[in-house]
């Protein structure tokens, strides 16, 4: 490219940045992240130093006809009082309470072992958050080893996070929007046998930081924390971690070990999933909010 061409392009970009609707991040951290991301991804469609404009992000999301599994996706059901819904509303309230005390918008959902309800919790939490008027929510399938969320939503499995982490896709091509106005989704994408290196390459942090201004909540589902390190790596890029424990299933040792894995991270609470029907009227989920020091503050 000639120097004149370069200069013209730069002038055009500067003009675009000063237009109404283009927002420049002012915090030093955000600028640093945006610049790093641009350097790593030349194909990106925003100018250096800019975060995304929310309207532009949302209008470019792929509109897809989802066919949600209404047995598990409680809020896609026409019933307003199906079992479990109230517990997710309680969990939502607890998250807002926690947010009064700390910056909290990017939440990692994990658990010690497979099949404890991470995906179930992520999907329903994202839905209950998105049901609130004006609250925009992004659900990300961060379980690159065993992605399930696209099945629960009944939508395309990719392209997704995997392709983004490999610099094969940009934010716009992986973002899906379905029938709920405020709920957006990024699938895991192609299966990856060993995603740990990809998760540590800094691109996940770029993605979350660039999209953070567009969404009120970003809920990230993940792989189990005891057998593999993926979730611990991802926790570095999130504001807080919710640990799911499955009643009568998660061995105590495994739950303790998972808690230890996140000792240096901000564990904001524990969700007790799948309690027995006798206790259901009183407590289907148990949620304990923890302070940064790990001491229980309240129980419900």
Ligand X SMILES: Nc1ncnc2c1ncn2[C@@H]1O[C@H](COP(=O)(O)OP(=O)(O)O)[C@@H](O)[C@H]1O
**119 touches Mg ion by CB under 5 A:** yes
139: helix, coil or strand?
Answer: strand
Alpha-carbon dihedral 224, 229, 233, 238, rounded to 10 degrees: 20
- Which of the ranges 31-39, 117-125, 212-220, 257-265 carries the binding residues for ligand X, by CB under 6 A? 117-125
How far apart are alpha carbons 105 and 99 in whole angstroms?
A: 8
Q: Pick from 15, 115, 256, 299 the residue near ligand X by CB under 6 A.
A: 115
Smallest separation (angstroms) from ligand X to the CB of 277? 11
Smallest separation (angstroms) from ligand X to the CB of 261? 15
Q: Pick from 174, 273, 286, 287 the residue near ligand X by CB under 6 A.
A: 273
**114 touches ligand X by CB under 6 A:** yes
Measured from the CB atom, the residue of 46 and 273 that comes closer to Mg ion is 273
Helices 203-211 and 28-40, packing angle to 10 deg: 130
- Given ligand X, Mg ion, none, residue 202, with its beta carbon under 5 to 8 Å by kind, binds none
How many residues of this chain interact with ligand X, rule: CB under 6 A?
Answer: 12
DSSP 50: B
**142 touches ligand X by CB under 6 A:** no
DSSP letters along 266-290, please?
-EEEEEEE---GGGTTT-SS-EEEE
Query: Closest by alpha carbon to 287, among 267, 264, 257?
Result: 267
- Which of the ranges 32-40, 85-93, 142-150, 199-207 carries the binding residues for Mg ion, by CB under 5 A? 142-150
How far apart are alpha carbons 101 and 105 in whole angstroms?
A: 12
- Which of the ranges 1-9, 97-105, 110-118, 180-188 carries the binding residues for ligand X, by CB under 6 A? 110-118
Query: Closest by alpha carbon to 180, among 57, 60, 68, 53?
Result: 68
Binding region for ligand X (CB under 6 A):
72, 111, 114-120, 148, 273-274
């Amino acid at each position: 490219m000639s120097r004149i061409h370069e200069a013209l392009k730069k002038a055009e970009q500067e003009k675009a940045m000063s237009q109404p609707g283009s927002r420049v991040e002012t915090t030093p951290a955000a600028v640093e992240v945006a610049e790093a991301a641009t350097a790593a991804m030349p194909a990106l469609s925003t100018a250096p130093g800019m975060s995304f404009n929310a309207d532009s992000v949302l209008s470019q999301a792929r509109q897809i006809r989802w066919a949600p599994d209404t047995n598990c996706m409680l809020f896609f059901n026409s019933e307003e009082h199906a079992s479990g819904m109230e517990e997710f509303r309680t969990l939502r309230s607890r998250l807002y309470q926690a947010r009064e005390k700390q910056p909290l918008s990017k939440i990692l959902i994990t658990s010690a072992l497979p099949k404890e309800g991470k995906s179930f919790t992520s999907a329903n939490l994202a839905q209950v958050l998105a049901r609130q008027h004006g609250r925009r929510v992004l659900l990300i399938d961060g379980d690159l080893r065993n992605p399930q969320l696209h099945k629960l939503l009944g939508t395309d499995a990719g392209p997704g996070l995997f392709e983004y982490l490999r610099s094969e896709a940009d934010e716009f091509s992986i973002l899906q929007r379905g029938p709920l106005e405020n709920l957006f989704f990024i699938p895991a994408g192609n299966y990856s046998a060993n995603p740990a290196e990809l998760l540590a390459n800094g691109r996940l942090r770029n993605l979350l930081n660039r999209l953070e201004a567009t969404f009120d909540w970003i809920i990230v589902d993940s792989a189990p924390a005891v057998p593999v390190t993926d979730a611990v790596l991802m926790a570095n890029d999130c504001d807080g971690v919710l640990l799911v424990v499955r009643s009568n299933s998660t061995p105590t040792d495994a739950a303790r070990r998972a808690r230890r894995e996140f000792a240096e991270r901000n564990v904001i609470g524990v969700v007790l999933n799948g309690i027995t029907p006798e206790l259901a009227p009183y407590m289907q989920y148990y949620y304990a909010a923890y302070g940064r020091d790990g001491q229980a503050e309240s129980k419900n």
